[in-house]
């Protein structure tokens, strides 16, 4: 079946359908990871986006039930150069194409995803549409232009859990994870470090969180425009100084906004598992997993109260911060990775130390 990916600027990519049939709009972005497509598909941070993988062959190790990062995919569409029909992995339960069909995700293959990535790098991320039913190019371009985009949209409400639940019931440290679209591996990493984890909906208030008597609070990753999620920003503002905080990705942006900073939309975002970040405290460089289209403005933070801890070596944007007085820190990238690399897992140990120090006081 023929499929078309159309961008709002009139650029057209014609290919073949290998997932569900239908039509969907979203912001078109690219991911430079060579592996980990299953984790990409199930990362809630991709809500509202059509994701193109730059690596040319995707799907060769299939889909398995163990590597999900959420209960289901939230992205709008998936674009690849070639979708492997041959699945070679002992854990695989189905092919990528069968998974997309089962989950009703539209997939397109046979397009030049590297040309698409180069175009987005030059022109910037833009709205698009992926369709198997409307093959009229002018019609698709009009639909792409009329679609909502990401700026000003609160997509957290679409992916957060509906009620509080316990991830695990044992652990020395009581941790509350504020779920803005959390990846499962954040919970796995906390549980592996002797943490008992409660996952709470994004609209949970600071009072309700503190009533759980946590030793620390993790602010999760998530999709959409951080400036639109004002209720989370207010919750974080009220938690600062009362309990150790650790923000990841959107959680980093929430902490930055709560500390009086500002956020802005990147031209084409950072998505992939090969982004170099320098820890300004040690001058060490980490290779990191990233997935974000917005960023905390480097010069908008009060550096009398906030220490800038990490910097992106590709474009110089802010990747980490720490409050100078209170135990609150965050990073823009994903220390839980999944799929790797694992250079940044030390940040979970830092969070444990913050909680241990707070318990002593």
Residue 361 pLDDT grade (very low, low, confident, very high; cuts 50, 70, 90): confident
Question: Does residue 118 sit within a domain?
Answer: yes
Is the separation of the CB atoms in 1 and 132 below 8 Å?
yes
DSSP character for 160? S
Instruction: Render pLDDT for 90-108 as a digit per residue (tens, 0 to 9).
Output: 999 999 999 999 999 999 9
pLDDT higher for 298 or 137?
137
**φ, ψ (nearest 5 deg) of residue 202:** -60, -30
* Stretch 18-37: mean pLDDT: 96
Residues 346 and 286 in one domain: yes
Question: Does residue 277 sit within a domain?
Answer: yes
Among the listed residues 8, 39, 319, 336, the single catalytic one is 336
Residues 139 and 186 in one domain: no
Whole-number pLDDT of residue 45? 97
Specify which residues 7 forms β-bridges with.
128
Residues 164 and 312 in one domain: yes
User: Is residue 336 among the annotated active site residues?
Assistant: yes
CA gap 123, 52 in Å, rounded: 16
Domain boundary among 88, 121, 146: 146
Is the separation of the CB atoms in 253 and 226 below 8 Å?
yes
Whole-number pLDDT of residue 169? 94
Whole-number pLDDT of residue 190? 98
Residue 232 pLDDT grade (very low, low, confident, very high; cuts 50, 70, 90): very high
User: Is residue 286 among the annotated active site residues?
Assistant: no
For residue 255, the domain's CATH number is 3.40.50.880
Question: Does residue 151 sit within a domain?
Answer: no
Instruction: Render pLDDT for 143-193 as a digit per residue (tens, 0 to 9).
Output: 999 999 999 999 999 999 999 999 999 999 999 999 999 999 999 999 999
Residues 139 and 170 in one domain: no
Q: Shortest CA distance to 347 belongs to which of 198, 245, 273? A: 245
CA atoms within 13 A on the CB side of 17: 20
Among the listed residues 270, 292, 323, 334, the single catalytic one is 334
pTM > 0.85:
yes
User: Is residue 334 among the annotated active site residues?
Assistant: yes
Question: Does residue 312 sit within a domain?
Answer: yes
For residue 85, the domain's CATH number is 3.50.30.20
Instruction: Look up the domain containing 228 and give its range.
Output: 156-360
Residues 203 and 345 in one domain: yes
Q: Is residue 312 packed enough to be buried (19+ CB in 10 Å), middle (13-18) or exposed (0-12)?
A: buried
Residues 244 and 220 in one domain: yes
Domain boundary among 90, 117, 146: 146
Question: Does residue 34 sit within a domain?
Answer: yes
* Stretch 287-297: mean pLDDT: 97
Whole-number pLDDT of residue 339? 84
Question: Does residue 90 sit within a domain?
Answer: yes
Among the listed residues 249, 252, 286, 295, the single catalytic one is 249
Segment holding 173, helix H or strand E: strand 173-179
Residues 183 and 261 in one domain: yes
Residue 340 pLDDT grade (very low, low, confident, very high; cuts 50, 70, 90): confident
Question: Does residue 81 sit within a domain?
Answer: yes
Instruction: Render pLDDT for 294-324 as a digit per residue (tens, 0 to 9).
Output: 999 988 999 999 999 999 999 999 999 999 9
Specify which residues 295 forms β-bridges with.
264
Residues 203 and 72 in one domain: no
What's the domain count of the chain? 2
Residues 182 and 211 in one domain: yes
Q: Where are the alpha helices (DSSP H) in the chain?
A: 37-41, 96-103, 113-123, 137-146, 156-159, 184-192, 206-210, 230-239, 250-258, 346-360
CA gap 127, 240 in Å, rounded: 36
Specify which residues 275 forms β-bridges with.
288
């Amino acid at each position: 079946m023929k499929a078309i990916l159309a961008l709002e600027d009139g650029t057209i990519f014609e290919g073949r359908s290998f997932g569900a049939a239908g039509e969907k709009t979203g912001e078109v972005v690219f991911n430079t990871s060579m592996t980990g497509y299953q984790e990409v598909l199930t990362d809630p941070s991709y809500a509202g986006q059509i994701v193109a993988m730059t690596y040319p062959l995707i799907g060769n190790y299939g889909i398995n039930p163990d590597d999900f990062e959420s209960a289901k995919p939230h992205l709008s569409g998936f674009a690849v150069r070639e979708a492997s029909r041959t699945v070679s992995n002992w854990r695989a339960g189905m092919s990528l194409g069968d998974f997309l069909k089962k989950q009703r995700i539209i997939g397109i293959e046979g397009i030049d995803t590297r040309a698409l990535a180069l175009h987005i790098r030059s022109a910037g991320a833009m709205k698009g549409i992926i369709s198997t039913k409307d093959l009229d190019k002018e019609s698709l371009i009009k639909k792409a232009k009329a679609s909502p985009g990401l700026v000003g949209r609160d997509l957290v409400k679409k992916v957060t859990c509906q009620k509080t639940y316990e991830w695990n019931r044992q652990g020395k440290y009581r941790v509350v994870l504020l779920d803005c679209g959390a990846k499962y591996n954040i919970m796995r990493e906390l549980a592996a470090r002797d943490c008992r984890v409660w996952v709470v909906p994004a609209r949970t208030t600071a009072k309700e969180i503190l009533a759980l008597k946590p030793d620390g609070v993790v602010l999760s990753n998530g999709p959409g425009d951080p400036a639109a999620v004002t209720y989370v920003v207010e919750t974080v503002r009220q938690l600062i100084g009362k309990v150790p905080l650790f923000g990841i990705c959107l959680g980093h942006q929430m902490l930055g906004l709560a500390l009086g900073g500002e956020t802005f939309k990147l031209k084409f975002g950072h998505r992939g598992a090969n982004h170099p970040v320098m820890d300004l405290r040690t001058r060490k460089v980490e290779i990191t997993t990233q997935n974000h289209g917005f960023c905390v403005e480097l010069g908008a933070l009060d550096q009398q109260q906030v220490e800038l801890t990490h910097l992106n070596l590709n474009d110089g944007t802010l990747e980490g911060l720490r409050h100078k007085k209170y135990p609150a820190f965050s990073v823009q990238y994903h220390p839980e990775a999944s799929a790797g690399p694992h250079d940044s897992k030390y940040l979970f140990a830092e969070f444990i130390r913050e909680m241990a120090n707070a318990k002593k006081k």
